[in-house]
Structure 1
Amino acid sequence: MTALPVRDPDEGTPRQTRPNAAEAVPYDFRRPTTLAREHARVLELAFETFARQWGTQLTAKVRVMSQVSLVSLCMQAYDDYVSLLPATTTMVLCETPGSGAKAKAVIQFPAAAALNWISHMLGSPGPSDIAERKFTRIEQTLVRGLMNEALEDLHYSLGTLLERPLSVDGITHNSQFAQAAAKSELVIAATLRVRVGERSTVASIALPAELLLPQLGDADTGPADGDTAGLLAQHLSGIPVDLALRLAPSAVTPGTILNLAVGDVLALPHPTHRPFELSVDGRRLGTAAAGTRSGRIAAVVVSTEENPA
């Protein structure tokens, strides 16, 4: 399962970002939730379009230069999505009237960020620092207006992937009790970086997978002729590997190693007339003799060996 999470220490934002390329990402084979590559690409393009549209809409509404960018996208269980959010945050629950779907879509962002947006809308430069809290009735009305316009942008950006438009059903401030979907319900979760003026925060959108996957169609699972093994062998044959010539190993004691000095001579058990061992990643493939070619040291293969291991 691809994970989104990390907390933004400056904004108290949801713990979500793109996984580090050097880190292993856990995957639960009991609940395979990985998007097919072609499906992921289609959704990424749609959410990137939405990010640009939402940024433009925020700029017009709050009258401050705003920018929204897509950070990451994945499919995961709703319980996994919610468990990685702050306990206190803004959860805008959205429904699709007439779709028959029980699960609700979610737009999530810190309340402090929304209060900053509202302050700009009302002509204030924005609060310097504010704690997470519930909205007043007036603030909730203004946030609903912003979210309704954002949902219009989302419906436009997803196009035929989202058959029916979404509408705001309610706003809650406790992520653990939002109950937008069943724990095992799959959602398409997108993480967004929202910058309004000098302040930046992280928001997320979770859409029930059942609303989008039917329109994406079946994934291309492989070549039509079924020659998967042949294609795999073809790709593997072009991967560069390190080929080495080595002498027969010599066993020495730790004392010998510790007492080595410049000028010492170590006797090797490799006879001068025997070819070198030809190996890849420590596995012997055969033997080769040292030679030259075009002014460079070369190896002349003398024999090859089968090495099924």
Structure 2
Amino acid sequence: MYLLAEKTGAVIPPEEVEKRRAVLYDFRRPTTLSREHSRTLELAFETFARQWGTQLTARVRVLSSVTPGQVEMMTYDDYVASLPPATAMVLCTVSGSDAHAVLQFPAAGALNWVSHILGSPTAIVAEERKFTRIEQTLISNLLTETLEDLHYSLGGLLKKPLAVGTIHHNAQFAQAAAKSDLMITAAFTVQVGEATVQSSLAIPAESVLPQLGEESTAVQEDYAEDALREHLVSVPMELALAVTDTTITPAQVLNLAVGDVLPLPHPADRPLLLTVDGQRLGSAVAGNQSGRIAAVVVSTEESRV
């Protein structure tokens, strides 16, 4: 189906219509991710999607691809409500957490993956049913590698690896977390050969949010300028008193001997030059302070070098 814009007469393709679709926002439960956090997670899940597609191609021996979709933060209850009643839900244990991560996909799609693993060259039309013991073993082995790719792709965002736990076939009966627990969810489109299915991933927010940080890592321009100035004021610099430079030839240098006198263009009654890392800052006269040689600043000026 295509959408026709009334004023311009332009035809908008279906995928663009889906992007422009309004999403309801519940102000009573503002469980949204900041723009910076969303972008960080989107990049991580894009990497995971590429890894997952490559792994599926190698295991099922059929060209496969995985396309990432929307990344959200929602309660576990809302996540389950968005799933079809009959679907495969793999509960994945998270070390140090009572909540489980969830990798969800249609059982019919997974049975198609199994058929390719067992040598079928074409896609099969399977019904949504529970896995047999052999099918569950093959799928568990396949998903173990998928979770390894997930841990690698998320990097520092997911400190502890996930492990395949139990597989459920009813979203309402799979108790991966408390209803009010927040989950980071990501949608994926998985294509294996000619068959395409919709999949999703849900990770307990408590396992990811601490690594994202409470504040954005983006630095505002005003703050960046202040931070740079604050850093520069503590940089050590070389301060020196000097006389006006003079120019001599290499022959004069080679013929120098003990007792020779080199005339300098700096008048004896003029203050010495005050320089910072070789740049003229002003002038000062020699003095002393607590028994140490010191310089008394008599004027300052901007360097013209």
Classify the TM-score, shorter chain. Answer: 0.5 to 0.7
Contact 1:55 1:66 in 2 (8 A): yes
Distance 1:116 1:24, change over 3 A: same
Distance (whole Å) between structure 1 residues aligned to residue 167 and residue 140 of structure 2: 8
Whether the aligned pair in 2 keeps the contact of 1:39 and 1:219 (CA below 8 Å) is no
Amino acid at match of 2:179: K
Per the alignment, residue 120 of structure 1 pairs with 116
1:79 equivalent in alignment to 2:72? no
Equivalent positions of 1:63-142 (< 5 A) are 63-97=61-95, 99=96, 101-142=97-138
Q: Following superposition of structure 1 onto structure 2, how do residues 146-165 of structure 1 map, counting pairs within 5 Å? A: 146-165=142-161
Whether contact under 8 Å (1:39, 1:216) holds in the other structure is yes
Matches within 5 A, 1:6-21: 20-21=18-19
1:105 is matched by which residue type in structure 2? A
| TM-score (structure 2 length as normaliser) | 0.65
| Runs of 5+ consecutive residues of structure 2 not aligned to the other structure | 1-14, 224-305
Runs of 4+, deviation exceeding 6 Å: none
Q: Distance in 2 between matches of 1:116 and 1:215?
A: 37
The answer to whether the 8 Å contact 1:90/1:110 transfers is yes
Larger radius of gyration: 2
Amino acid at match of 2:24: P
How does the TM-score come out when normalised to structure 1? 0.64
Q: How far apart, in 2, do the equivalents of 1:21 and 1:49 lie? A: 21
Identity of aligned residues (%): 61
Correspondences of 1:205-224 after superposition (within 5 Å)? 205-220=201-216
Deviation at 1:21, TM superposition (A): 3.9
Alignment-derived partner of residue 30 in structure 2 = 32
Q: Matches of 1:135 and 1:207 in 2, distance apart? A: 24
Deviation at residue 128 of structure 1 after TM alignment: 3.1
Q: Secondary structure at the match of 1:20?
A: helix
Find 1:194's aligned residue among 190, 195, 215. 190
CA root-mean-square deviation = 2.0
Q: Deviations over 1:53-106 (max 9, x none)?
A: 000000000000000010111111111111011111000000122x1x111000
Deviations 1:214-234 (A, max 9, x none): 0000233995979xxxxxxxx
2-structure distance, mates of 1:75, 1:63: 34
Q: Could you tell me which residue of structure 2 aligns to residue 52 of structure 1? A: 50
The CA distance in 2 between the partners of 1:18 and 1:121, in whole Å, is 35
1:176 paired with 2:163, answer no
Does the 8 Å contact 1:54/1:153 carry over to 2?
yes
Unmatched 5+ stretches in structure 1:
1-16, 227-309
Answer whether contact 1:38 1:219 (CA < 8 A) is retained.
Answer: no
Query: 1:267-286 CA deviation, whole Å, 9 max, x = no partner?
Result: xxxxxxxxxxxxxxxxxxxx
Assess, with a 3 A threshold, how the Cα gap between structure 1 residues 222 and 184 changes in structure 2: closer, same or farther. Answer: farther
